[in-house]
């Protein structure tokens, strides 16, 4: 019988080692590729996240800037209707001098000035009102002291002076508020302030002389009642 030859064990073992080495190299290469892709994905995700944060921050800044711009535009629209500042201490002195001259003129003529009795003034505004009451010179329609036919022309400067004087106090009383909120608080106070020209005696621009004279007398009576003890 012919002799049977078996497979060479060394050759088989060599092929198996070679196959194992190739598989190991393939697995290692695949693992390296997966690790590289994972690293690139992570880097891209971080970059995208950072970009989103930057865009969100910029959007927030733009929104804040737009809010401030809108507020500034509203303030400018309101300030464009303003004009003169409220009466000052120098005006009070001028009124006092004018009143003194009128009294002296009346004394020379042998007439006693008509003074409203028992009236008191506790501040500058009251003092000016008091002078307007005790002044013998009657306020005439169309004069400097007559009711204002165009209060909007004095609004800008009046509010500017009011804001400059009162804003430090409002900030101190409301330390946690933002600038826009502080301005809103100040504006509410301005709406009620006697310095606001629209809270003072006003006339329609086409009012008659009789209407103006009646408003002058009405304002005089209101001042007398307010300043009485």
Cα–Cα distances in Å, from 4 out to 7, 9, 10, 11?
Answer: 10, 15, 18, 17
* CB neighbours of residue 10 within 10 Å: 8
Cα–Cα distances in Å, from 90 out to 87, 103, 176?
Answer: 8, 20, 37
pLDDT tens, the chain, 229 aa long: 455 555 677 777 778 888 888 888 888 888 888 888 888 887 776 766 777 888 888 888 888 788 787 777 777 777 766 554 454 556 666 777 777 776 666 666 665 555 544 555 555 455 555 555 445 444 454 444 444 555 566 677 888 888 899 999 999 999 988 998 999 998 989 888 877 776 665 544 444 556 556 655 666 666 666 666 5
What phi and psi, each to the nearest 5 degrees, are found at residue 202? Answer: -130, 160
User: Which segments within the chain are labelled E, that is strand?
Assistant: none
Extract the tokens encoding 190. 């301005």
- Report d(CA 41, CA 45) in Å as an integer: 6
State residue 174's pLDDT score. Answer: 92
Query: Please, are residues 217 and 210 in contact by the beta-carbon 8 Å criterion?
Result: no
Q: What is the dihedral of CA 178, 179, 181, 184, to 10 degrees?
A: 170
Extract the tokens encoding 222. 């209101």
Query: Where are the domains positioned within the chain?
Result: 89-227
Query: Please, are residues 210 and 187 in contact by the beta-carbon 8 Å criterion?
Result: no
The size of the chain, in residues, is 229
- Report d(CA 184, CA 68) in Å as an integer: 13
H/E element, 45? helix 9-79
- Report d(CA 186, CA 171) in Å as an integer: 10
């Amino acid at each position: 019988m012919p002799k049977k030859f078996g497979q060479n064990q060394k050759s088989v073992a060599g092929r198996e080692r070679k196959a194992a080495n190739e598989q190991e190299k393939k697995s290692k290469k695949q693992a390296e590729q997966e690790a590289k892709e994972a690293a690139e994905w992570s880097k891209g995700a971080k970059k995208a996240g950072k970009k989103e944060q930057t865009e969100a921050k910029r959007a927030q800044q733009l929104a804040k800037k737009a809010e401030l711009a809108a507020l500034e535009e509203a303030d400018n629209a309101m300030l464009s209707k303003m004009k003169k500042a409220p009466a000052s201490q120098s005006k009070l002195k001028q009124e006092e001098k004018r009143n003194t001259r009128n009294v002296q003129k009346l004394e020379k003529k042998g007439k006693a000035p008509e003074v409203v009795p028992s009236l008191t003034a506790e501040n500058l505004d009251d003092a000016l009102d008091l002078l307007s009451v005790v002044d013998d010179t009657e306020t005439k329609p169309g004069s400097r002291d007559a009711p204002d036919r165009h209060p909007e022309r004095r609004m800008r400067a009046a509010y500017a002076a009011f804001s400059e004087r009162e804003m430090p106090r409002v900030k101190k009383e409301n330390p946690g508020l933002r600038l826009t909120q502080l301005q809103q608080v100040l504006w509410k106070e301005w709406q009620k302030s006697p310095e606001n020209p629209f809270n003072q005696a006003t006339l329609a621009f086409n009012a008659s002389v009789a209407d103006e004279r009646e408003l002058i007398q009405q304002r005089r009576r209101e001042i007398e009642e307010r300043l009485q003890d």
